[in-house]
Amino acid sequence: MSARESLLIHSPHRHWLLAGSSSFQVPAHWRPWLYDSGSLSQRLQRAAGGEFSVRVLSECWQYPSADEARALGISPRRRALIREVELLGRNAEPWVFARTVIPATTLTGVERRLLRLGSRSLGSYLFRDPSLERAPLRACRLQDSGGQHYWARRSVFRLHHKPLLVCEVFLPAMEHVQYPL
């Protein structure tokens, strides 16, 4: 994980608002990316003409941030499997930085399969599970230490009523990627 992505995710000055909220103006280009409740991986595959892949940056047991724990409804002192990846588009260009926080209690039963995703996208697993429930998307405009702004979204998913949090940060290369219909 680069220092930039870490700063983006852990910035204390972020305000996650319901996607579509009138509290901030989202440029037209970003709206479909931020508000689509379907599989982002599937959309990216289409936008990349099939040239889509996942680069795993890290996957280890850590403590979630207080903000992440609050979103999941767990104690920040509970360790979770934290997976950080880049979703790559054409020419292996990083389009999205994604961070998934999976509480240990979620990784029981069939959800143990989440431990073996490897370089497969999480979406390829989640959106095939008939028990999938998704909380409303929340969006945020993040800023790194250099003043660069990024749009991000996150939501809590539930598999068999067990939660996991997915945060997706759209990187600068995405500004030129057309949303596929």
Binding residues for substrate: 83, 122, 168
Closest CA to 152 of 99, 102, 103, 101: 99
User: Distance between CA atoms of 43 and 47, rounded to whole angstroms?
Assistant: 6
User: Distance between CA atoms of 69 and 72, rounded to whole angstroms?
Assistant: 5
* Separation of first and last alpha carbons in the chain: 31
User: Dihedrals φ, ψ of 85, to 5°?
Assistant: -140, 165
Q: Are 102 and 114 within 8 A, CB to CB? A: yes
Q: Are 112 and 131 within 8 A, CB to CB? A: no
